[in-house]
Amino acid sequence: MARGNNKGRIFFGEEDYLLFERILRDCLPRFGVLLYAYALLPNHIHLQIKSLRGKLSAFAQRLLGGYARAFNRAHGRVGHVFQGRFRSRMVRENNYMLELSRYIHMNAVKARLARRPEDYRWCSFRGLWTGNASVPIETALYEQRFPGPNGTADLYRFTVARGIPKGDAAGWAARPFWYADESPEPGPVLPPQNARLLQPEAPEPRLLLEEVAARHGCRLETLTAAWRNPRLGAARTDAMLALRDRGGLSLRDIASLLGLRSSRSVSNALRYRRCMSA
């Protein structure tokens, strides 16, 4: 999952959605990724994927970074498009995979962007429903659970009727926004033993800086001041390491947060620390 920076929009019109789908189509085979479900909402996206080569971070960087650069060019913008790093969870290949796909497919209904999941154009359910997906979808998950000629109808019933009290499923269309109040986001599932964990959501940069400032006994404003204080050299280098390794920020963003003129200062400080630790 990835959200727009400051909860802002990442899609303004049809051209933006088409652009993201095109980049997604290109990235899937390049990084060996299977796509089970997706939903593109105005200010966030959901992807349910499987990385066959263990290159999830590279895939996300290419997908989100490529879209962000093209998005900024198209709209004459500068700066971040997405808020921090993407969020990810490890999911076992069991029934929870279906629950997660259901949650993703009902996102547009939950957000009141569509009355029914198949009505929302920028979601994989429409492709599963019509058999004409704009982005290649791995259908084995659904075919195994809903085999036979009625598979699509069974998938539809599973998706839209899940969580509706008995007796109400037949009339769900009369209450198109029931999902907004009834079904919370699925909780995390423990990965199999020895499984390689995906990257968690990165902490906010300010929280990381406050942590470093407290550890070194200095004020946050002093740590991020543009003027240099020789006594805070170690603290500022620790802040750089935290922002890079735990916050996932680029050297340029770190320099901006710490009041430095360029990313070269950050690079030099980290290189010096590495040499001193060797």
pLDDT per position as a tens digit, 147-193: 877 788 888 888 876 655 444 444 444 444 433 333 333 333 334 33
- Tokens of residue 130, six digits: 């019509």
Could you tell me if 77 and 142 lie in one domain? yes
- Tokens of residue 81, six digits: 């498009």
pLDDT of residue 197: 37
Q: Residue 77, SS3? A: coil
The one-character DSSP state at 197 is P
Find how far residue 10's CA is from the centre of its chain: 12
CA distance 28 to 250: 24
Residue 200 within any structural domain of the chain: no
Residue type, 176: P
Could you tell me if 172 and 211 lie in one domain? no
CA distance 193 to 90: 12
Could you tell me if 16 and 142 lie in one domain? yes
Domain final residue, candidates 148, 182, 216: 182
Residue that has been written with the tokens 């009834």 in this structure? 182
Q: What is the H or E stretch that residue 42 is in?
A: none
Could you tell me if 47 and 136 lie in one domain? yes
Range of the domain at 77: 2-182
Could you tell me if 154 and 224 lie in one domain? no
Neighbours of 275 (CB within 10 A): 8
Question: What is the average pLDDT value for the chain, to the nearest integer?
Answer: 77
Could you tell me if 41 and 163 lie in one domain? yes
The one-character DSSP state at 118 is G
Could you tell me if 92 and 126 lie in one domain? yes
pTM of the entire predicted model: 0.58
Residue 199 within any structural domain of the chain: no
Residue 47 forms beta bridges with which residues? 38
Residue type, 177: F
For residue 144, the domain's CATH number is 3.30.70.1290
- Tokens of residue 113, six digits: 């962007």
Residue 196 within any structural domain of the chain: no
Residue 193 within any structural domain of the chain: no
Residue 58 within any structural domain of the chain: yes
Residue 37 within any structural domain of the chain: yes
Could you tell me if 145 and 229 lie in one domain? no
Residue 112 within any structural domain of the chain: yes
Neighbours of 72 (CB within 10 A): 14
- What would the pLDDT profile of 3-47 be if each residue is shown by its tens digit? 777 678 888 889 999 999 999 999 999 989 999 999 999 988 999
- Per-residue confidence band for 210, with pLDDT thresholds at 50, 70 and 90: confident
What is the number of domains present in the chain? 2
Could you tell me if 17 and 94 lie in one domain? yes
Q: Residue 172, SS3? A: helix
Contact 53, 32 (CB under 8 A): yes
- Tokens of residue 255, six digits: 């320099």
Could you tell me if 138 and 233 lie in one domain? no
Could you tell me if 139 and 35 lie in one domain? yes
